[in-house]
Structures are given as C-alpha cells and as structure tokens.
Structure 1
Amino acid sequence: MTESITQRPLPPDLAAHIAEHIAEEPEHVEPEEEHRPLAPLPADRFADREVSWLAFNERVLEWAEDPSQPLLERVRFLAIFASNLDEFFMVRVAGLKRRIATGLAVTAASGLSPREVLAAISASAHELMARHAEVFRDDVQPALAKEGITLVHWDELETREQERIHKYFRKQIFPVLTPLAVDPAHPFPYISGLSLNLAVVVANPATGKEHFARVKVPPLLPRFIAVDAKGRPSSPTPTSGTARKGPTSYVPLEEVIAQHLDQLFPGMEVREHHTFRVTRNEDVEVEEDDAENLLQAMEKELLRRRFGPPVRLELAHGISPRIRELLVRELGVTEPEVYELPAPLDLTGLNVIADLERSDLHFPSFVPTTHRFLAEVESAQPTDVFAAIRSRDILLHHPYDSFSTSVQTFLEQAAADPAVLAIKQTLYRTSGDSPIVDALIDAADAGKQVLALVEIKARFDEQANISWARKLEQAGVHVVYGIVGLKTHCKLSLVVRQESDGLRRYCHVGTGNYHPKTARLYTDHGLLTCDPDVGQDLTRLFNQLSGYAPQSRFHRLLVAPRTVRTGLIERIEREARAARAGKEAWVKIKVNSAVDEQTIDALYRASQDGVQVDMVVRGICAVRPGVPGLSDNIRVRSILGRFLEHSRIYAFANSQGEQIGEGATDGPEIFIGSADLMHRNLDRRVEALIRIADPDQVTELMDLLDTSMDERTATWHLHDTTWVRRNADDAGPYLDLQASLVNRQRRRMSAGR
C-alpha cells in the first residue's frame, strides 16, 4: 500500500511564525551583560558575498595553476572551476539580475549597490575566464602533450585517423544532429542553457543568398573524442577509468561536426561556422504556500527552468562581427555579458581527460578504511554495528573513515535486523544508485515503520529527488517533504530497536549528505551514538518535521531556524565575557561559507574584547580579518585539496554545564552539524548541530582545527579582503593537511588500529 504525506500549509497561528515550528527556549543570558552598551561597528565591515565567491573560485584556479600538483588533478581542477562558474551564473548572477529587473534588489551588506555588484562580478569573471583559458592553452595543454596526451585539431590528425572518424561520425554522431535554419518561416531557435552550439552561415550556390543556421552539439556524446594510438575513436559513452594508458589524442566534438557540415546542409555552400555557448537563469522558485502539492509544483517549475533568460554568452575567438551582432541581438544579452575566449569552449568536459588511468599523473591512490571502533567488530558475521555503538559514541571522519562500512552498513543492517522496528531518515542529496534508498525500501518491505524526509528543493537535484520520492512512496515508505517555507538540510538517521532491556534508539548526525559517491570526495564528520538524550532529541525533531510539535526542547542539539544562530552568538558572547574577566577565551570555526552579518558582528565584538577567533572557510567569507580596531584578533584560512572540505565545526573555550544538558562540564564545547554561517542555513532551512560529549572526540576535533590553522600548514590566508596562498613555494615546507590525514589512516591500518 502506497502511503504519501505531502507538504501541507501550516495552520494560521503557526504560518505566521515559521521559525517557531523548530523551537527551543532561549538560553540564559547573564543579567549584568543584558544591557551592556555596544559601540557602533563601521558600515564597511563586510566583504561582498559575490566578489568573495569569485575569490574562492580563483583559489580553485590557483590550484590548477600549481605545477607541483599531479597533472591530471590540475586538469580536473580546471573542469571544477568551469563547472563552479556555470552554477554561479545560473543562480547568483541570474538572481541578482532578476531582482534588479523587478526593482527588488537592495544594497548589499558590503555597501555596494546591486549594479555595482554586477559590474564587479563582470570585471572579475572576465579576468578569471580569460586566465582559465590561458592556463589550459599555455601551461596544462603543453604539459599533457609531453605525457602523450594531446588535444588536436582536425587538420592535425593523420589521414587514417580522419577516415576512421568519418565512419564514426556517420554511425554515432550524424543521426543525433538536428540543424535549425533561421528565415522568415523559421524564427531564431531557442538555445538551451549550457549547450555548446555551432553558428553556421550557408549560401545557396545558385542565388548566392546566405542563411543562418544553428547546430547543437549533442550533450550526451563525449565532449572530446579520444583517438587511440591506432587511430580508433573511443566509445561514444566513455566511462571513468577506461581511457588508454598509451599515447592518446583528443579532438573536440564540435570540430568533428564542423568538418561534416556539408552532410547536414547538402547542396548548400558552408561559408563560416563559429562555436558559442549560452548560460541561462536556472534557479527554481516555487510559491509553496499556494501549492496544493509541492511535488507537482516542483515538476512544473523544472519545466519552466529550461526557458530562463540568458545571463552569459560565450563566443570563440575569431567570430565574425556580423554573427556576433546577430547572437547578441537575438539572445537579448548586453555587451558585459559577452565573453570571447579561445577555443575550445566549455572546459567542464575536461573530466574525460582527467579520468585517464595514469596513476603517475594522479594523487596517490587511497582507499577509505573502516573506523577502528567498527573494525573491532568486523570479525562478527554479520558486522554488529549496533554492538559497536553501544560500546561508545563513534566519531567518523570521511573520506578517511569509510562511509560504506559505517553509515551505509548501519542503515543496511537496520533494514535487515528483525529487532529494528522503525527507521527515520532525512535525504537531501544522494546518488543515482543509492544503497541508502534501497535499504529504506528493504526495511519497508520487511514491515518496519520507515519515514523518509526527502528535500525535493535541493538545487539541481530536484528531478532526481522527485524520482526517489516516488520510488519510496511506491514501496510503502512514509514520504514527507518538510515544512512550508523551509528546506530540510539536516543530516539525520534514527533507528529504533527492540532489545532485552527495552527500546533503544541508535542515531547518526552528520555534516554531509547520505551520498556514497561524494562521501569518497568530501571531508565530512558524523556521529554514531545511542545516547538516550540524542535519541530523544532526534525523535522530537523528526516529530516536528512530520507533524506538529513546536515547543520541543533539545539536550544536545541546536536546531535552525530557531536556535543555531542564537545559540552560536550566545556562546561567542560567553567567550567575550570570559575575555573581559581575564580568562582564556577563543572561538574556532570551520565552515564552507561565512556571510551571516549577525554572527560576524558577534565575532567582531568578541575580537575587540580580546577573544582569539580562528576560522577555516572553504568558500565565501564576508569577514574582514586583521582590520585594526575591528578584527585584530580574527584569523581566517582556507584549505583546498584532493578532497572538498565540507564539514562544519564550531568550538568554544568555555562552557556552562547547566546550560547544555547532563554530563556537560566546564571547558571546551564543540559542535558538528549541517549549518554554515549563511542566511539560508540559519533562517530558511532546518539544520542541526550536535554537541560532542566524549572528551577524546573533543580533543580529536580540536587537533584538526589547530592543525588547519597552524602557520606550518599549506593554506590560503585572508588579509582583509585579499587571499594569499602559503605553500611549498614560500619559506616552507608546509604540511598538506589532507595528505597527512591520508597517511595517518594508512599508518593506523598498518598498525591494526
């Protein structure tokens, strides 16, 4: 029997107070501090969010520029840079332009007007995109050639290679192509977002009259066609790791198509052709309050997404002025939105080359290992994850600790265990062949109560999540789409198990998605525990998400949108009080982004009171550290590497036991969880941070934070609004944090612990 619980409007008394749906009593504030007068902070204290994001992508580019990095990893970072920028234009730039057009744009927290922000984006993006193309053409591409990996033009192929590709074109490419003419009977065609296209000018040889046509480069075919040493084109759908180890040449797909345009326009003379690419607004907006069924509303919006207005036009160098003018006019873009770049366009396709099986050109191989506390019970058949969790809380650090032998095994064992009565799970993003979803379906088939909270508004994963939601519903899983007005972003699993002494609740709270593939590429933390307080916390939170329970209190959780910001600010202010009293005081934070003005202001004031604030921020950062009189005691670092730094950690020097639940003691207080310091996380999402109670785990996380901030660790340092890289090219040698953690894991495995 299919059972689905769709998202529903809140009752009127709750709809006006969405935040109260995730409610806690505010924490105690010291009476003598309640009304302490606060000096005004300078108006220009925040760096601009969008400019800071571009600075983050510049750090990605700097990694690709670094000749000390493995060559194919540099290729991959060039592809990542391009993919990042595509999303930035589709969402951030498109959203800003939409707000300007509708008159809803306001001055940014940085003090820049909307048009000033747009101008700053355009100037920086033009510079970075040109630099990106130059790095590939003048540095990485020649280095690849020295390794026998070449990107060639059609006329550089040998005759036998051209003949083989002629056959390949007829069999694999030609049937997929659709030329679209432009004339009075055929209006200018719709150009889909991120598609690569050929603008073609053909002429009737009898009359000499010219016509314009567009040919779309099929996105499902390989972006670069590999030609092996014998001149054979590769499979049209190459997979990672299948490319040859010997000399390999690649020819861009658009060049192959261009050489065969006469077959698309028989009887016509092909006079010129040029490549171009369009980026469109692909953000999704759903009026949830008016939607009777959020699933149906989202499906309709995804169809509308395809027809968003253009926000960027990329043109290959050498395009004729008349074709350039035609494209600009017909697509309705302005000159600042036009980017002329060296061919080939769309370097996201470089992943095909980055996936080559050349171990000498990649990072040393690394296979995640089973966490040592779980490995202790691996000899049992099957592995008894529940026994390991009953022995102690287990702090996981992915990808160094295997996701598949920890979180995945936890849920698979729960699905198969007849003693398990219920499983409750949040799903924000997961893989296309998700074993997590399969485990939930198996559990439902076994008659267990299974609740899946699927966030179908997860950007760019909406369609996939809709498919999973329907699959789960058909299996009899209770599917919930969350609370109106809020995305459910917290990473939670709750397993209820019948044991000899009664029901016991086993929990997982993480910083990353339940996504087995990204768990091998992202650094994330997770806690496996059967602590009764955490079990009660997750039970209450899931009840809020699937029902109505607005007055719940939590033992070890801070929950957004109600208490993550207020809880963090209270703890920052606690450090400030300690500093004013002459005690040791510090704050250490590791996040993906830090732009929330209220939290940043609290950090500024704490710095002014003498609190040492250390931050590790991978991406956007609106904090301006080291500004005299404002942020003298704030230091900000950024770490990029083979893994994407993704975990969120909040640590404070001082705690007050009576405020944070049983078992708490004075001393360092540390949280991990799903929330970044962003408005969307703190105001428009359900997020959860969990306090770490085990002293050894507190020490482990503190060591990670301290090493991340150490002057001898290779990082980028933020000086006011300028990022400066510190690496082995300087006075080093500097520690590669991720490499050191990989080596530590290998040593532990060798030592059997």
Structure 2
Amino acid sequence: MNAPAETRTVDLKEGQSRYFNREMSWLAFNRRVLEEAANPAHPLLERLRFLSISGSNLDEFFSVRVAGLKEQQLEGLEERSYDGQTPAQQLERISEEADALIAEQQQTWLVLADLLGQSGVEVVGAADLDESEREWLRTFLSEQILPVLTPQAVDPSHPFPFVPNLGYALVFAMVDSADKEPVSEVLMIPPSVPRFLQLPGTQTRFISIDAAIAAHLDVLFPGFELVAAGAFRVLRDTDIEIEEDAEDLVRTFRSAIKQRRRGRVIRLEFTSGTPLDLENLVREGVGAEHALIAENSGVIGIADLQQLVDVEGHAALRFATYKPRFPERVKEHDGDCFAAIRDKDFVVHHPYESFDVVVAFLRQAASDPDVVAIKQTLYRAGKQSAIIDALVAAAEAGKSVTAVVELKARFDEEQNLFWASRLERAGVQVVYGFTQWKTHAKVSMVVKREGGSFRTYCHFGTGNYHPTTARFYTDLSFFTASKRAARDAAKLFNFISGYVRPKGLELLVMSPVSLREKLNAWIDAEIANAKAGKPAAIWAKMNSLVDPRIIEKLYEASEAGVKIELIIRGICCLRPGIAGLSSNIRVKSIVGRFLEHSRIWCFANGARLPHGKARLFISSADWMPRNLDRRVEVAVPLENSTVHAQVLEQVMVANLIDNQQSWLLDGSSGQYRRVAGDKKPFNLHTYFMTNPSLSGRGQSLEGRKVPKLKLEQGG
C-alpha cells in the first residue's frame, strides 16, 4: 500500500522506508533467541535449548516465508513489500542474513559443546571411543540401526530416492572392490533414527549417527571402497493453499497434507567439503534447480540438538523445576470453577498459574448434569489433549457440544483432522468455520441450568487450548459469567457456524467485523486527548506488529503527543524513536525462559497510566493484516477492578520495567540492544513465579501483600 503523504519533517536517512522489512525483522527476532544461547545467566542445557529453538525457527521460516517469496519470484511477480522491496531483493538479503545467522549458530554450538563436555555431557567422535564403547557401538549399529537404514544406489535403474522436508541423508562415492566400477550411494537417515546415540557407561557421552556410520561403512557397504562422502539436508515448501470454492474442505486438506511432503525444494544444505560431483548429483536428484544452496561447516539441522537437551539427569544444567499454582480463588470454592466464576470474574496467568483450571472448567461442565451445552473453538490443541477428552465426555453424556476446529492451523492440520474425526464419532457437532478466514479466537462457553433459568459461563484466552504449550507460553485466561459476554459469545459461534454476521455486540470486539475500526477509534481518542492537553498514552503487548495502516495511525498518535510503549516479542515493522515520525514511541522485546505470547492493549482514556480509568483489553489478535482482515479474532475489555488492576498494574508494568530479558529496538538501524542492567535487577518471569496474582489469589492469600510495581518511565 502507499503511505500517506508526510506532513512534517521526518528524520529518515536516504533510501530508508517508513517500515522495517517483515522478513528481516523476523530474522532479528531469531537472532535474539540465539543470543539467549550465549547468555551465561542461563544453565547450559537451557542455552542449548535456545540454540535448537533458533534452528527449528529458521527451518519454519524457510519452509513458509522464504517459500512464498520464492514462488513469487519464479512466477515473475513484482509485488513489493511494505518497505518497497521486490521478492528477489528480499531473497538476496534473507540469504545473506540467514547464512550469517547459521554461522553464528555453529560457533555457538562449538562453545556450548566445550562447556557441556566440561560439565559431564560430551559429544565425541569415533576416534575418542574406548574399546568397550567401540564394541558396543558396532553391535548396536548392526542390530538396532542398520536394519532400519536402506542404502540406495543411484543409476539409470535406481532413481534418486525421495527426500521429504527436513530430510537428512548421507551421500557416498564408492568403488566396487571386485570390478572397480564406481557407484553412487544415498543413505537416508529416517526420523525414527536418533541424530545422537548415547553410549553406555556412567558418563554421559554421545556420538552423532553420521560419525557412527562413517566409522562402520564396512558393515553397511561390504565389498566397497570409499572414495568421497558428504551429507545434505532438504527444506521444502510446506505451505498449504486451499481454493475458496473447495467443495469438501476435509478431503481437500487431506490431499493437500499429502502433497506438502513433495513441496518445492527451497533450501539445500551440504556439509562443507562435499565434493562438487556429489553436490550436483543431489541437486539434480531432489530437483533443487531453483533452491538456495548452502554449505555448513558444523552440525546440519541444528534443531536436532534438542535431543541432547532432553538427556536424563544433570538437573543442575537446567532451570529449576517450576510447579504452577492452581488459582486459590477456585480452591476456596472447593474446586468448583462455576461457583468461583459466579462469585467474581478472574484472570488466570499462565504458565505461573496452571492451565489445569481451564481443563477443570470443561471437565466439570462435562460431568455436571445441569450443563446443557458447550461451545468451543480449537485452533491448536496438542497431541495429548485433555480438552478433547472433556468435549468427548460431554457429548457422550448427552450434552449439546459444538467444536469449531480450525483446519488451517499451520503444521497442526493433520492433528486437527484427527481430533475432528474423534469428536464427530462421539457426537460433537464439528464446524470448520470459514474457507477464506482462519478462526483464531480462543473462546469457550458453557450453558448451565440454574434455578429454573440458564446461565452462561465464558472463558476467553490469549493463547491456544494446548496443555503442553501452556506450560511455557505466557498467556491470560479470563473467566466470566457476564450476561453481555454470554450474548456476544453466542453471536460469535453463530457467525462461525451459520455465517450470521453479529450485530449489536455489547462487549466483545471482533475481526473481521469491527476490530480494525475500533482500534483506529481508540487511537483517535488518545490523539484527541493529547491535543486537548489531557494525559494520552498507549501500552500494547503482542507477538507481531506488521499492519501498515495501524503503524501509520500510531505514527500520527506519536506526533500528536501520545506516549506509546510497545512490547513486541517478534516481528516489528514500525520504526520507533524517529524525529518527526515516531518520536514518542518505544519498542521493546522480551525473550527469556517463557515465550511471551499474551496480547494486551491499553489506552489511557484521559488518565495517566497506569490508572483504573484506562481502556484495557486482552485479545487473540496481533496487529497484522491477517489478524484484522482475514481471521476471526476477539478482543475482550476487562472491566472488573481487580482483574483490571492485575493485568494493567501487575502484568503490563512488570513487562515494561523488566531489565533482565529485554531488548530495545533502534528505529534507525533496526538493531536490537539488550537493556542495560544498571538499575535494580528486575526479571518479570522470576517475579511472577514468586508472587501470587491479584484476581486469582483468593481470601487465603489476602494477608500476603503483592509487591506494588513502580513504573519509572513511560506514559
């Protein structure tokens, strides 16, 4: 889109756009993740976990974002990004930055491997094995590994084997000892074979699978002589495109998931030193004529280091185990979620407070004879889902159960198809929502018969109904028995299931119905207050800020005098702190033990923040075009005074004053710098792990004062 004409002097250097490039901003985020692998404040295995996460993040980036740009380039599309770059220009910059990032990953691994070795977790080569380890490894390979492997010659009668996305393989040039004929061999390493084999003994020692195989080629290829060898890894386009007029959405997705395995090769990685003739063999064999080609001097597939993170023992090399609290407010009602909600709205702050309360809410609904109906959205539910079990139990108990299962949840499509099938077999009414929009809202509603009438209880979340990720994603769960919330939630589900466009919403704000317009109106109200000389400020926390129209509105607010504090974990296309453009905007990112995932928006509303008069919302939506225009999302105002205080004065202030896990964005360079710890150290994750929440703490904790957080900067 075209940016509106500038009406004031803007301090941008020649050639700089009003926006940062989305892809480069994402790479900057992944660099922050990688930086945590070098953070000495973290235990060693946790540093290794950050390294492996940076690897899996980058894999997904290539398979989705780079794949999309590559398709545009090959189709000759010249559609420019918001910052004015063509697909070809972006791919060139991405390749350069990603290669630098991968080089840093390898250097980080060398450092961590040395430190881990000193701490009792070693990765060794074949030459480092003692006699007993060599005997064990030869036997283990012969009996446990080699039967799973299938070496394949490549010649006119043996076509090159198919290599799936993330596929890892070894390639060899060999000579038959009998007739001296050259042979090319490819050896796929199936996902079922671990990348690292743990050696027996009292010490924790590993050897990589490729090093183990290289030391035993005589077992795998008897009668052949090795000439040269290498290894490679394939990244493919994994995006799924669905036609809007698909007649059978389930059948279409099942077919698309199968086709995804054979997506275009986007990136092909080789170990450095792989001979050119073997590289050419692989390139032609996997059809990588248009792929990005890279050589790697270390571990290919850095994400596979996760296996070492999960090694048994070595508790001192991990974060101390944290057990989340179960909300005291629910305990005080003998565990009865409905009684607690009926008594007062409350917020549960995950992962500090257990996701078990959400599961308990649905389990109690399933077993309560007075519950007549449950409606539930499901975007990502995980592989072992107590939520699904509860919905199945409710349906089997004869209750009316509706589940909105989103088939377009990337990389969870197959799992969601499985859940949908199980739910339907149990008698649940499964709805797949809109073909053109994803249903991303996190809403659950339970209708219960009470005293001759019905009362509806609602749960609204910023995160998924996923018990596993809820242990390390920071999110908010809001429980309420508000009649307005109930009526609006019913309209939301009718919109999804019957295309009945919601009218007269009393509490909720919904996209793509009205969320963009409301956001603009709330920002405009702050602009008007600033011009009238009243306190004007915006605090917002989210995962990504990309939408150019919202960015322009924030620029306008900034230059009108609105103080804006943004906490954006990942992508940020807005340039903060630029004179004449965004002089009143600060952007920080928090990366630490837990993944910051909650979306919280606050508008000062004429009072100096933090203040009880502020407009405060939690939401499932980031400020991206897809969330505002192409997804079903919900924003929920928090009006209860205790809930309002918890989210604004506790959660948001803690995020703003954290100086142990925070990074500040430089609006000119696009670089992030770690916040200097020159003030009194404050780690928001540690704070929430050691202090009760406000709205969920209950009477039993009333005597235990929650420390008052003081904000020294911002609006």
Aligned residue for 1:364, secondary structure, equals coil
Q: Partners of 2:423 and 2:350 in 1: how far apart?
A: 27
Q: Indicate the larger mover: 109-118 or 407-416.
A: 109-118
Aligned residue for 2:147, secondary structure, equals helix
Per-residue CA distance 1:490-544 (angstroms, 9 max, x = gap): 0000100000151000000000000111100100001000000000010111111
1:122 and 2:85 are equivalent in the alignment: no
Given that 1:412 and 1:439 are in contact with CA atoms closer than 8 Å, whether structure 2 keeps it comes out as yes
Q: Which has the higher contact order (CA 8 A, sep 6+)?
A: 1
Query: What residue is the counterpart of 2:710 in the other structure?
Result: none
Superposition deviation, residue 689 in structure 1: 0.8
Match for 1:274 among 211, 230, 234?
230
Match for 2:567 among 616, 628, 633?
616
Query: What residue is the counterpart of 2:504 in the other structure?
Result: 553
Query: What residue is the counterpart of 1:252 in the other structure?
Result: 208
Superposition deviation, residue 708 in structure 1: 1.6
Aligned residue for 2:146, secondary structure, equals helix
Per-residue CA distance 1:428-460 (angstroms, 9 max, x = gap): 001212110010010000100000000011100
Query: What residue is the counterpart of 2:642 in the other structure?
Result: 696
Q: Partners of 2:657 and 2:251 in 1: how far apart?
A: 50
Q: Partners of 1:41 and 1:376 in 2: how far apart?
A: 59
Superposition deviation, residue 365 in structure 1: 1.6
Query: What residue is the counterpart of 2:602 in the other structure?
Result: 651
1:312 and 2:267 are equivalent in the alignment: yes
Superposition deviation, residue 351 in structure 1: 1.5
Counterpart AA for 1:743:
T
Query: What residue is the counterpart of 1:286 in the other structure?
Result: 242
Q: Partners of 1:613 and 1:752 in 2: how far apart?
A: 34
1:337 and 2:310 are equivalent in the alignment: no
Query: What residue is the counterpart of 2:392 in the other structure?
Result: 441
Query: What residue is the counterpart of 2:355 in the other structure?
Result: 403
1:709 and 2:656 are equivalent in the alignment: yes
**Structure 2: 5+ residue runs without aligned partners?**
11-15, 703-715
Q: Partners of 1:501 and 1:447 in 2: how far apart?
A: 20
Match for 1:220 among 192, 201, 208?
192
Q: Indicate the larger mover: 440-449 or 678-687.
A: 678-687
Q: Partners of 1:732 and 1:295 in 2: how far apart?
A: 55
1:607 and 2:558 are equivalent in the alignment: yes
Superposition deviation, residue 368 in structure 1: 0.5
Distance 1:712 1:432, change over 3 A: closer
Superposition deviation, residue 119 in structure 1: 0.8
Query: What residue is the counterpart of 1:241 in the other structure?
Result: none
Q: Partners of 2:329 and 2:28 in 1: how far apart?
A: 40
Match for 2:80 among 107, 117, 127?
107
Query: What residue is the counterpart of 2:615 in the other structure?
Result: 669
Q: Partners of 1:164 and 1:584 in 2: how far apart?
A: 72
Q: Partners of 1:488 and 1:556 in 2: how far apart?
A: 19
Per-residue CA distance 1:584-622 (angstroms, 9 max, x = gap): 000010000000111111000000100001000000000
Distance 1:37 1:440, change over 3 A: same
Superposition deviation, residue 337 in structure 1: 1.7
Q: Partners of 1:731 and 1:188 in 2: how far apart?
A: 59
Q: Partners of 1:471 and 1:489 in 2: how far apart?
A: 21
Counterpart AA for 2:240:
V
Superposition deviation, residue 74 in structure 1: 0.2
Superposition deviation, residue 229 in structure 1: 2.3
Distance 1:348 1:169, change over 3 A: same
Query: What residue is the counterpart of 2:688 in the other structure?
Result: 741
Q: Partners of 2:167 and 2:30 in 1: how far apart?
A: 22
1:195 and 2:151 are equivalent in the alignment: no
Superposition deviation, residue 732 in structure 1: 4.6
Query: What residue is the counterpart of 2:253 in the other structure?
Result: 298
Match for 1:498 among 438, 449, 470?
449
Distance 1:336 1:734, change over 3 A: farther
Matches within 5 A, 1:79-228: 79-137=52-110, 139-228=111-200
Matches within 5 A, 1:671-690: 671-690=617-636
Superposition deviation, residue 105 in structure 1: 4.3
Query: What residue is the counterpart of 2:513 in the other structure?
Result: 562
Counterpart AA for 2:613:
G
Per-residue CA distance 1:371-397 (angstroms, 9 max, x = gap): 1211212xx3xx211000000001111
Task: Using structure 1 for the length normalisation, give the TM-score.
Answer: 0.88
Superposition deviation, residue 76 in structure 1: 0.3
Given that 1:262 and 1:270 are in contact with CA atoms closer than 8 Å, whether structure 2 keeps it comes out as no
Q: Partners of 2:159 and 2:179 in 1: how far apart?
A: 22
Q: Partners of 2:565 and 2:635 in 1: how far apart?
A: 19
Distance 1:38 1:667, change over 3 A: farther
Match for 2:7 among 31, 34, 39?
39
After superposition, the CA RMSD in angstroms is: 2.2
Given that 1:456 and 1:462 are in contact with CA atoms closer than 8 Å, whether structure 2 keeps it comes out as yes
Superposition deviation, residue 651 in structure 1: 0.5
Superposition deviation, residue 327 in structure 1: 2.6
- The size of the alignment, in residue pairs, is 686
Match for 1:56 among 16, 29, 32?
29
Given that 1:655 and 1:666 are in contact with CA atoms closer than 8 Å, whether structure 2 keeps it comes out as no
Counterpart AA for 1:387:
A
Match for 1:724 among 656, 672, 695?
672
1:360 and 2:328 are equivalent in the alignment: no
Q: Partners of 1:419 and 1:655 in 2: how far apart?
A: 45
Q: Partners of 2:133 and 2:663 in 1: how far apart?
A: 46
Query: What residue is the counterpart of 1:425 in the other structure?
Result: 376
Query: What residue is the counterpart of 2:535 in the other structure?
Result: 584
Superposition deviation, residue 684 in structure 1: 1.2
Superposition deviation, residue 180 in structure 1: 1.6
Aligned residue for 1:422, secondary structure, equals strand
Query: What residue is the counterpart of 1:470 in the other structure?
Result: 421
Counterpart AA for 2:663:
W
Aligned residue for 1:507, secondary structure, equals strand
Q: Partners of 1:391 and 1:530 in 2: how far apart?
A: 9
Aligned residue for 1:524, secondary structure, equals strand
1:509 and 2:465 are equivalent in the alignment: no
Query: What residue is the counterpart of 1:24 in the other structure?
Result: none
Distance 1:470 1:597, change over 3 A: same
Counterpart AA for 1:86:
D
Counterpart AA for 1:725:
R
Q: Partners of 1:655 and 1:418 in 2: how far apart?
A: 47
Given that 1:316 and 1:345 are in contact with CA atoms closer than 8 Å, whether structure 2 keeps it comes out as yes
Counterpart AA for 1:674:
S
Aligned residue for 2:513, secondary structure, equals coil
Query: What residue is the counterpart of 1:326 in the other structure?
Result: 281
